[in-house]
A and B are shown apart, each in its own frame.
Chain A
Amino acid sequence: MEKPLTQHLRPDGKPLSLKEYEQVGGYQALKKVVKMTPQEVQTLVKDSNLKGRGGAGFNTGLKWSFVPMNVPKPKYLIANADEMEPGTFKDRVLLEQTPHQLIEGMIIAAFAIQASEAFVFLRWAYKTAAEEIERAIHEAHEAGYLGKNIAGSGFELEMHLHTGVGRYMCGEETALLNSLEGKRATPRAKPPFPQVSGLFGKPTIVNNVETLCCLPHIVNNGAEWFKKLSLTQDAGTKIYGVSGKVKKPGAWELPMGVTLRELIEEHAGGMQDGLKFRGALPGGASTDFLVEEHLDVKMDFASVAAVGSRLGTGTVVVLDDQTCPVGFVKNLEHFFAQESCGFCTPCREGLPWIEKILESIENGKGREEDIKLLDAHTRLLGPGNTFCALAPGAMEPLQSALKYFRNDFEKHVKEKGCPHSKKSKYQIAN
């Protein structure tokens, strides 16, 4: 099984130096790319069917193709390394352990859209990654892979590291641009799309870290090779992860399209002893729950969408039978309420309301009509009613919890409290 993105990870977790990266074929793809035309690079990536790994799953080459080519400098290429989706820890591996792979991917993407400036937008908490990326940018600069006249081609690119100061909103493409411009991270209206008017009003592409890391391998091995890595129609490998009460939580690079069952039972070693699987968020906090009947769903964009959820970031959060689904969702909605940027009303007002209702239900003060109120909110805060995808994303776990775990909500109301916390108190008393 090929694992192009993670093949050079070392047991000690230290990244390859520039020299070591070159010894295993690093920066060969870059040397090939600068001999191609930008159009040829875009076509190659489009043909590879690489889809954005940040959650949206849009064809990367197609996204690039909306960037106007014959415009004055600068254009911008940004790596979205603001991994903040709760339950998501896949980009951390690449950022800390494969910084040169990311930089090479970024140079390739920048060449494809003819960008002259690049930023890595890194979340504050990733201290090790910041050090490694800073060092790798410096090394790449010294070796002539960044700066003027890259690899003798005449192409030039400067790259900077920006570390954020918190806020989930920064992961949203247009809010990230505002943050990089030194503003509050609120989203922008689209159109115009960033491809046309992005950072400082200039054409800009924002790509996820994992997406960018695929690029050197596509250039080296071809579009057909990349497609064949996958088990399904969505090309390539995917870094999947599992967290929650399983025996061996972790992240693994696997062919795109492995099943949820394989992830949980084989790679994560199954549920912890004495616990049963009840459900899972397939790709971070803002994805709909999947339950037992979905265990054999293939974890690719189309298959997960077909059962009413989203692949998202591909990092699974497992709900076990001893953990309260109402408490689980309350934790998620608390997060979303806190992280709402406050820019549009349904999100700013609706999410705290939802959190309060869930808190009442969890604490035994819920009324029957509260469940209906929650149902209504999933529509009122759904797609089309808010400025960006934060609130609709927040509704995904809520609406699916109300569907699959409705009994639990009703039981909380009827029994005036959380059956799970009562149980644990009883156990402690014994």
Chain B
Amino acid sequence: MLSKEEIKEIDKAISIAPYKKAASVEALKAVQQHRKWISDESLQEVASYLEMSAEELDSIATFYNLIFRQPVGKHIILVCDSISCWVMGHDKIKEKLSELLSIDYGQTTADGRFTMLPNPCLGTCDCAPAMMVGNDLYRNLKTEEIEKILNKYS
């Protein structure tokens, strides 16, 4: 069941839209904020609240790469793999992350702490290579700093 808080956030999005369905992206975002990912159950709950079919909502949920339809770790690592970061050493950063966490892109660590995903350009190309952990942006990354950065996230 959608929580009171989730409903409040979805209703806010509905209030500025001409019809309920138009709030679908905002609703998925709100529910993911609370539940970390969108399970089939979550999807059905949101869809029925927005008076649309679960299939239609799923076509939207699976389109956007930052709506997660699979369980994810506590912290999401988004590694920029676009051109400026690639030139400035993305591959080494990714290799180091994989080595420290024993996971590849799209995987979650055994302890559920991190999910690592490649992400298109983070818009900080003058400070490449870059990555985000949760809401925090790290720029001008050096491989030797990565372990220390990861240790900040319990």
A residues contacting B by CB (< 8 A) are 83-89, 91-92, 117, 123-127, 158, 160, 162-168, 179-185, 200, 241-245, 249-251, 281, 285, 315, 317-320, 323, 327-328, 331-332, 334-335, 338-339, 341
Contacts and interface: CB of A to CB of B under 8 A. Distances in A.
A184 B63 contact: yes
A200 B23 CA distance: 12
Given A87-B82, A88-B123, A244 B25 contact: no
B122 interface: yes
22 contacts: A86-B82, A86-B84, A87-B121, A92-B123, A124-B66, A125-B78, A125-B132, A165-B65, A166-B66, A167-B64, A168-B120, A180-B22, A181-B22, A182-B21, A182-B23, A184-B60, A241-B125, A285-B121, A318-B87, A323-B87, A331-B82, A335-B83
Interface string B40-73: 0000000000000000000110011111000000
A317 B64 contact: no
Contacts of A123: 123
A89 to B, nearest CB: 5
A89 B25 contact: no
Contact of B120 (A84, A183, A200, A341): A84
A183 B21 CA distance: 9
B26 interface: yes
Given A84-B120, A165-B66, A200-B18, A315 B87 contact: no
B109 interface: no
Contact of B125 (A117, A158, A249): A249
Interface residues of B, number: 39
A135 B126 CA distance: 27
A323 B83 CA distance: 11
A89 B125 contact: yes
Contact of A165 (B67, B81, B120): B67
Given A244-B87, A331-B82, A182 B60 contact: yes
Contacts of B124: 89, 92
Given A242-B126, A331-B82, 13 more contacts: A85-B121, A86-B120, A87-B84, A91-B123, A125-B123, A160-B16, A167-B64, A182-B26, A281-B83, A317-B84, A328-B83, A328-B86, A331-B86
B38 to A, nearest CB: 11
B26 A335 contact: no
B126 A250 contact: yes
A171 to B, nearest CB: 11
Contacts of A181: 22
B125 A88 contact: yes
B119 to A, nearest CB: 7
A182 B120 contact: no
Contacts of A166: 64-67, 119
A73 to B, nearest CB: 12
A85 B82 CA distance: 9
B47 to A, nearest CB: 12
Contact of A125 (B23, B25, B119): B119
A255 B60 CA distance: 42
A341 B62 CA distance: 12
Interface centre among A89, A167, A182, A315 (most CB of B within 10 A): A182
B108 interface: no
Contacts of B83: 86-87, 281, 285, 317, 328, 331-332, 335
A178 B64 CA distance: 13
A99 B88 CA distance: 30
Contacts of A168: 120
B123 A83 contact: yes
Interface string B114-154: 00000111111111100010010100000000000000000
B48 to A, nearest CB: 15
B17 interface: yes
A243 B125 contact: yes
B36 interface: no
A276 to B, nearest CB: 14
A332 B125 CA distance: 14
Contacts of B65: 165-167
Given A86-B82, A127-B137, A182-B17, A328 B123 contact: no
B28 interface: yes
Contacts of A85: 121
A315 B83 CA distance: 12
A200 B22 contact: yes
Contact of A167 (B63, B82, B127): B63
Contacts of A315: 125
Nearest to B90: A331
Interface centre among B22, B23, B126, B137 (most CB of A within 10 A): B126
